């Protein structure tokens, strides 16, 4: 926020009121990029150098992932889309008890604010704007969030509780909570668990990073294509279905891909921070 003030000469107290203006969006982009680097990317790297004699191994970069599991990891990000959308529908249908009405209203307002600013980020018409969004929404979160939640927290929690499955589940819950998008909490937990298991099975942080990038990057590209009239698609509903047969088929395919990913790497020892 201080850097944004120095660049844009806007008092920090006025930043919240500029969220829907062009200057405000530029400031928000700057804050987003700096915070991704400062909160998610640098701390795990510094931690690895401070407490491990092999930072590359600690962060999960040492093992080279097999082409097979990389291919499976990309495919599964698309085959799970119908289920993820269905989970989002279930999540949105959840109503809190009457005595928590104030909290529910606050959650809804936060969700709407987040959606509004996300749409402002995505409404670009130039290639340079698309590339900036791919960096800000695709690459930086894929690297930073995976370093924090999968490279550091997942093995640390799993080792502390002596159960790698609990490490995956708890880190996925924290991953979802961090986004402060309450009506997408359940599908994001499911996505976090999927990323966590692929990290466990592959032994390489590059695999969940790739999956995260495919998930976010696809959304950025689809929104760009739809917003600029290159294709008549609904980017927000891409992959959703009301056909229960298609949903069931997608679940079976996704489970099968998970099975093959696990089998391809079943000889890998459980991940531990080194």
Q: Whose CA is closest to 204, among 268, 161, 148? A: 268
DSSP assignment of the chain: -HHHHHHH---GGGGGGGTTSHHHHHHHHHHHHHHIIIIIIHHHHHHHHHH-S-HHHHTT-SSPPPHHHHHHHHHHHHHTHHHHHHHHHHHHH----GGGHHHHHHHHHHHHHHHHHHHHHH---SHHHHHHHIIIIIIHHHHHHHIIIIIIIHHHHHHHHT-HHHHHHHHHHHHHHHTT-GGGHHHHHHHHHHHHHHHHHH--THHHHHHHHHHHHHHHHHHHHHHTTSS---GGGTT--S-HHHHHHHHHHHHHHHHHHHHHTTTSPPP---
The per-residue pLDDT for range 179-215, each reduced to its tens digit, is 877 888 999 999 999 999 999 999 999 999 999 999 9
Instruction: Assess whether pLDDT exceeds 90 at residue 30.
Output: no
The per-residue pLDDT for range 112-164, each reduced to its tens digit, is 777 777 888 888 899 999 999 999 999 999 999 999 999 999 999 999 999 99
Query: Within 10 A of 195 (CB to CB), how many other CB atoms are there?
Result: 30
- pTM metric for this prediction: 0.89
Query: Within 10 A of 150 (CB to CB), how many other CB atoms are there?
Result: 30
Instruction: Assess whether pLDDT exceeds 60 at residue 273.
Output: no
Instruction: Assess whether pLDDT exceeds 50 at residue 269.
Output: no
The per-residue pLDDT for range 69-120, each reduced to its tens digit, is 999 999 999 999 999 999 999 998 888 788 877 887 877 777 777 777 788 8
In this structure, is the dihedral angle defined by the CA atoms of residues 34, 39, 40 and 41, taken in order, positive or negative?
positive
Backbone angles phi, psi at 228, to 5 degrees: -100, 10
């Amino acid at each position: 926020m201080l850097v944004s003030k120095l660049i844009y000469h806007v008092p920090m107290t006025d930043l919240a009121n500029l969220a829907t203006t062009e200057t405000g969006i530029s400031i928000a982009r700057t804050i987003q990029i700096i915070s991704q680097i400062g909160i998610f990317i640098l701390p795990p790297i510094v931690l690895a150098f401070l407490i491990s004699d092999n930072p590359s191994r600690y962060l999960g970069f040492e093992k080279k992932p097999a082409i097979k599991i990389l291919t499976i990891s990309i495919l599964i990000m698309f085959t799970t889309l119908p289920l993820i959308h269905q989970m989002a529908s279930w999540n949105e249908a959840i109503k809190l008890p009457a005595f928590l009405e104030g909290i529910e209203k606050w959650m809804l307002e936060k969700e709407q604010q987040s959606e509004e600013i996300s749409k402002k980020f995505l409404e670009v018409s130039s290639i340079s704007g698309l590339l900036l969004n791919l960096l800000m929404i695709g690459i930086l979160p894929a690297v930073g969030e995976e370093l924090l939640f999968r490279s550091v927290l997942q093995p640390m929690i799993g080792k502390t509780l002596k159960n790698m499955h609990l490490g995956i589940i708890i880190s996925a819950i924290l991953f979802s909570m961090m986004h402060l998008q309450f009506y997408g909490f359940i599908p994001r937990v499911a996505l976090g668990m999927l990323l966590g298991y692929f990290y466990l099975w592959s032994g390489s942080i590059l695999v969940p990073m790739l999956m995260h990038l495919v998930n976010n990057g696809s959304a950025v590209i689809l929104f760009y294509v739809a917003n600029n009239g290159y294709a008549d698609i609904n980017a927000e509903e891409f992959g959703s279905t009301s056909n229960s047969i298609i949903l069931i088929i997608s679940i079976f395919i996704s489970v099968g891909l998970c099975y093959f990913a696990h089998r391809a790497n079943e000889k890998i020892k459980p991940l531990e921070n080194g």
